[in-house]
Amino acid sequence: MIKTIIVGSILISSFATLDISKFTEGTDQLLEGHVKDGLVDYQALAKEQESVKELYQQIGSMSLDGASDAEKKAFYINAYNIITIYQIIENYPVKSPMNINGFFDKKKHQVAGESLTLNQLEKERLLKNHFDARAHFVLVCAALSCPPLADFAYQAEQLDEQIEEKTRQALNNPEFIRVNKGKKKVLVSKIFDWYKSDFTKDQSSVLAYINQYRDEKIPDSYKLGYYEYDWSLNDQ
């Protein structure tokens, strides 16, 4: 009897992995074909909505039974980005996600059998259960001030390396982290203000967190400020 239970458990795990693999592969193909330099070709995607809709539906019917923590974490990141793209396509042409009522906090989506808003997906499923402050550099909100969207899907087998790569890319980008040596000042994204507790959970300050990933460290004496968030659509 014990052997039967073990075999059953393995089968469930295998099926869950297969479902996630199919979704991950489809996401990878879509992003590779429609994302360049962090910007999305929404016009092209609007003409082939079925590919986005199919991935969106897969998110809802996904089973995470037996999936590993890495598989779940990668799935939630990819799901967030695909749902974001789906909502833009549903309302395209649109100038900003903020022009779509309830984009982040009211519109519910089916995610692995649960009904969640994007905010709930980010905070309750990803950050609460798989905390990683670097997630803020891989979840893309369809705005120009977001970190650049990756042109690939996140994969469980190389998840840490992929997230690390995008984090370092963002925190060394002079447009994202704006250092003014003459004025001894640095302006950073409002993301660091909105989610300050995430970045200072294991670090003494936001600047200390940023410097972990910087090739050229920012002196502690520099004054930290925040530039205005540009919610214009991250359209090519």
Nearest CA to 186 out of 228, 209, 214, 218 is that of 218
DSSP class per residue in 152-167: S---GGGHHHHHHHHH
Report how far Cα 107 is from the mean position of its chain's Cα atoms. 18
Whole-model pTM: value is 0.92
Residue 19: what pLDDT? 81
* Segments in the chain below pLDDT 50: 1-15
Strands 223-226 and 185-188, by their bridges, are parallel
Count of all residues that appear for the chain in the document = 236
Phi/psi at 114 (5° precision): -110, 150
DSSP 233: B
Strands 114-116 and 223-226, by their bridges, are unpaired
Structure tokens at 122: 């980010």
Question: Using one digit for the tens of pLDDT, what is the confidence trace for 33-62?
Answer: 999 999 999 999 999 899 999 999 999 999
Residue reference for tokens 């396509």: 89
Residue 7: what pLDDT? 37
Residue 87 to residue 34: CA distance in whole angstroms: 16
Residue 17: what pLDDT? 52
Residue 138 to residue 82: CA distance in whole angstroms: 12
DSSP 126: I
CB 111 within 8 A of CB 61: no
Nearest CA to 200 out of 116, 136, 115, 126 is that of 136
Nearest CA to 30 out of 13, 10, 7, 54 is that of 54
The HSE-up count of residue 68 (CA atoms within 13 Å, CB side) is 11
